[in-house]
Chains A and B, each alone.
Chain A
């Protein structure tokens, strides 16, 4: 566990702790200030030289004013050189750090590409066990008062689920599920072709295929991962003070709960200049069978699958996740117009929805904040920053795969668990309370990209109070609505 943040992305290949970026920014400021002093000292020195002041005769005057200013100028020049070289060294260190990270990632990927077919070959046994566990979860939860097999398994493997190495493995595995599947089916695909296919098939494509299969099964009546229509209902309205920073934004994300509102919308500005902040809560229902709860795994899988180009031609299953459709419906009902400036904030699956809103060219989203959302593969839109806060021990952001680089996405990472400690939750690093604590730390950072994101909040709220509304979304489960299109 550490209060130190690591920042990466945003069009830079450098990866470093926020301390390092702050130091680099500080040295940049030193350079700017000292350059200004050098210019001013030069003007004074040249002026004094041109005046040709009479020589002093006092014994103590060992140096003339223009000479003294000249020496000051020299010291300032040296200071400027020193500040520039220190800043360069810091940025080179960040680049080296980034290169090391990329090399390690590359090795993990290579290992996964080589091992996935082999692991897949052995997979039927694991899959059967997994299905039994999942099936047991569904059946036992209805008839058995005690912990279900899946809950028991999760309880026994808590340490593993929050192990940063396991999280990294999941991130890689999410991008290699296709090679894994080919191995599991004993498909006679040549290794090089499989690897080539694997490079172009990531977590979103894999999720899309899974949804397609689930959609076909849905035609036979299955509700496993089969989405449906949604409806939203405004649960309360009240006035609200403007959020002061990223920590405040995180504090306002709905915490979830069976019948609690999953969406919160705040309106700022006057009648003809409305500006909005939309908060989307995280996953409430972790089951694979789609129920009334819109913020569930079915919706999450849609969230990841939507990032794949191939998902647009998927003919079975819903077009988008219930959670995203619910948020858009709530926005419509709240009065959000396409051109209104909007800031989107979300935790977990809500983070994915926030990222999707940010990438939508038909909305005027000015920025998005994802707290533990799997948004590494989420498309971004030019000029719309996506700040993704991810904990090193959190499995959920890793399920989005390694993703792709983007100038707009800045990732802030932090380690939040103490090694060797036992935690009550199955995924303690994913808890909203921990993300709120990290978001507060972001407010203390002076790194330029984080500062710019904080400035966005002020631009949206205008520093004045607004109106808040909470929204409860539910999925329609009537038999005639197995398709959410």
Chain B
């Protein structure tokens, strides 16, 4: 665990609970499921048209299709970013939870955290 997280939790008075970590994990599962579907579907969903039209209208249509593809790729990239960010937060919350539990077991270990509300389940 990052010491800064523990310090941050102590300063803000916010602790991590098992319920919070579990809820975050559930959202990560949902997010990964969505991301997996988006990653697998986007390439064929907005593939360039295979039609044989040759006209200004057809060119505009191709541009529109390209823009649609860009938007979908953007959404995919944002979901990748969200997945990384959420995974990282969960890892840190897990670390923080372990540290909190260790502190509960040894209350005098860190003078700095003696005043932090570290009761298990409290927020």
Q: In the complex, how many angstroms separate the beta carbon of A376 from the nearest chain B beta carbon?
A: 28
Q: How far is the CA of A399 from the CA of B68 in the complex (A)?
A: 46
Question: Does B118 sit at the interface, judged by CB under 8 A?
Answer: no
- Checking B30, B53, B78 against A72 with a beta-carbon cut-off of 8 angstroms, the contacting residue is B78
Question: Does B75 sit at the interface, judged by CB under 8 A?
Answer: yes
Q: In the complex, how many angstroms separate the beta carbon of A437 from the nearest chain B beta carbon?
A: 18
Are the C-beta atoms of B64 and A85 separated by less than 8 Å? Answer: yes
Question: Does B31 sit at the interface, judged by CB under 8 A?
Answer: yes
Are the C-beta atoms of B49 and A23 separated by less than 8 Å? Answer: yes
Are the C-beta atoms of B72 and A65 separated by less than 8 Å? Answer: no
Q: In the complex, how many angstroms separate the beta carbon of B9 from the nearest chain A beta carbon?
A: 7
Are the C-beta atoms of A20 and B34 separated by less than 8 Å? Answer: no
Are the C-beta atoms of A82 and B64 separated by less than 8 Å? Answer: yes
Are the C-beta atoms of B85 and A68 separated by less than 8 Å? Answer: yes
Q: How far is the CA of A33 from the CA of B42 in the complex (A)?
A: 10
Q: Restricting to A31-70, which residues have a CB under 8 Å from any CB of B?
A: 33-34, 37, 40-41, 43-44, 47-48, 51, 53-58, 61, 63-66, 68-69
Question: Does B114 sit at the interface, judged by CB under 8 A?
Answer: no
**Dominant SS at the B interface?**
helix
Q: Restricting to B41-61, which residues have a CB under 8 Å from any CB of A?
A: 41, 45-46, 49, 51-53, 57, 61
Question: Does A316 sit at the interface, judged by CB under 8 A?
Answer: no
Q: Which chain A positions have C-beta within 8 A of B104? A: none
Are the C-beta atoms of B34 and A64 separated by less than 8 Å? Answer: no
Question: Does A86 sit at the interface, judged by CB under 8 A?
Answer: yes
- Size of the A side of the interface (Cβ < 8 Å), in residues, is 44
Question: Does B116 sit at the interface, judged by CB under 8 A?
Answer: no
Question: Does A239 sit at the interface, judged by CB under 8 A?
Answer: no
B4's closest neighbor in chain A, by CB?
A57
- Checking A65, A86, A89 against B85 with a beta-carbon cut-off of 8 angstroms, the contacting residue is A65
Kindly count the residue-residue contacts between A and B in the assembled complex, taking CB atoms under 8 Å apart. 125
Q: How far is the CA of A40 from the CA of B41 in the complex (A)?
A: 15
Interface membership of chain B positions 70-101, coded 1 if the CB is closer than 8 angstroms to chain A and 0 otherwise: 01101110110111011011001100100000
Q: In the complex, how many angstroms separate the beta carbon of A186 from the nearest chain B beta carbon?
A: 50
Interface membership of chain B positions 1-26, coded 1 if the CB is closer than 8 angstroms to chain A and 0 otherwise: 01011001100101010001001100
Q: A23-B51, A33-B45, A75-B74 are in contact. Are A82 and B68 (CB under 8 A)?
A: yes
Q: How far is the CA of A16 from the CA of B101 in the complex (A)?
A: 69
Are the C-beta atoms of B88 and A56 separated by less than 8 Å? Answer: yes
Q: A23-B49, A44-B27, A79-B68 are in contact. Are A63 and B89 (CB under 8 A)?
A: no
Are the C-beta atoms of B45 and A30 separated by less than 8 Å? Answer: yes
Interface membership of chain B positions 25-38, coded 1 if the CB is closer than 8 angstroms to chain A and 0 otherwise: 00100110010011
Q: How far is the CA of A452 from the CA of B63 in the complex (A)?
A: 31
Q: In the complex, how many angstroms separate the beta carbon of B17 from the nearest chain A beta carbon?
A: 11
- Checking A61, A75, A85 against B72 with a beta-carbon cut-off of 8 angstroms, the contacting residue is A75
Question: Does A19 sit at the interface, judged by CB under 8 A?
Answer: yes
Q: Which chain A positions have C-beta within 8 A of B72? A: 34, 75-76, 79
Q: How far is the CA of A386 from the CA of B57 in the complex (A)?
A: 32
Are the C-beta atoms of B78 and A69 separated by less than 8 Å? Answer: yes
Question: Does B103 sit at the interface, judged by CB under 8 A?
Answer: no
Q: Which chain B positions have C-beta within 8 A of A30? A: 45-46, 68
Q: In the complex, how many angstroms separate the beta carbon of A75 from the nearest chain B beta carbon?
A: 4
Q: How far is the CA of A79 from the CA of B72 in the complex (A)?
A: 6
Are the C-beta atoms of A63 and B27 separated by less than 8 Å? Answer: no
Q: How far is the CA of A44 from the CA of B23 in the complex (A)?
A: 11
Knowing that A17-B51, A65-B27, A68-B85 are A-B contacts, what are 7 other residue pairs whose CB atoms are under 8 Å apart, sorted by A's residue number?
Answer: A37-B37, A56-B89, A58-B92, A65-B83, A68-B81, A76-B75, A82-B64
Residues on B facing A (Cβ under 8 Å) = 2, 4-5, 8-9, 12, 14, 16, 20, 23-24, 27, 30-31, 34, 37-38, 41, 45-46, 49, 51-53, 57, 61, 64-65, 67-68, 71-72, 74-76, 78-79, 81-83, 85-86, 88-89, 92-93, 96
| Cβ-closest 4 pairs across A and B | A68-B82, A72-B78, A75-B75, A65-B86
